[in-house]
């Protein structure tokens, strides 16, 4: 893969979307309280918010955006060509084939199925929108 051929604007847009959607999805007025309780935490437990946590969070968002920009055009090409709709479908396929099962297997052994549904919902939205962005800018 020629990294010069990547649409870096799509990678940047996906990264920004990931950070913003995560902040909204896991906000105090949205899913955070339910997710936190599903992990067995109480309101008095404080989430880890160290600088290392935030750096790793940003790194994972960059990696997801980068690899989506590499893989989505290939999958969308197999669906008839890169466009917003095929990009979104390719993003959903990435989520269904890789992201959702991986997260589910981890949460099943920890008995955190409700937490998985909240996390998986955010990931599904991210990957579908990533695909749409890549389809639009690709």
The reported pLDDT for the residue numbered 1 is 66
For helices 51-78 and 8-25, angle between their N-to-C axes, nearest 10 degrees: 120
User: Exposed, middle or buried: residue 102 (CB in 10 Å: 0-12, 13-18, 19+)?
Assistant: exposed
For helices 113-137 and 84-94, angle between their N-to-C axes, nearest 10 degrees: 150
In 10 A of CB 97, how many CB atoms? 11
The reported pLDDT for the residue numbered 102 is 94
Overall number of domains in the chain: 1
**In the structure encoding, which two tokens stand for residue 75, read together?**
């999958």
Split at pLDDT 50, 70, 90, the class of 97 is very high
Q: Is the pLDDT of residue 39 over 90?
A: yes
- Residue 110's domain comprises 3-137
Q: What is the mean pLDDT of the chain?
A: 95
User: Exposed, middle or buried: residue 83 (CB in 10 Å: 0-12, 13-18, 19+)?
Assistant: middle
- The answer to whether the beta carbons of residues 81 and 138 sit under 8 Å apart is no
């Amino acid at each position: 893969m020629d990294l010069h051929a990547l649409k870096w604007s799509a990678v940047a847009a996906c990264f920004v979307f990931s950070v913003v959607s995560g902040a909204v999805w896991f906000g105090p007025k949205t899913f955070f309280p339910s997710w936190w309780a599903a992990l067995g935490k109480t309101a008095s437990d404080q989430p880890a918010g160290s600088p290392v946590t935030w750096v790793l969070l940003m790194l994972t968002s960059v990696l997801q955006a980068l690899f989506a920009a590499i893989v989505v055009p290939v999958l969308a090409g197999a669906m008839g060509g890169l466009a917003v709709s095929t990009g979104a479908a390719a993003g959903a396929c990435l989520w269904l084939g890789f992201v959702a099962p991986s997260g589910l297997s981890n949460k099943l052994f920890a008995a955190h199925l409700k937490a998985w549904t909240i996390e998986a919902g955010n990931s599904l939205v991210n990957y579908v929108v990533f695909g749409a962005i890549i389809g639009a800018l690709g």
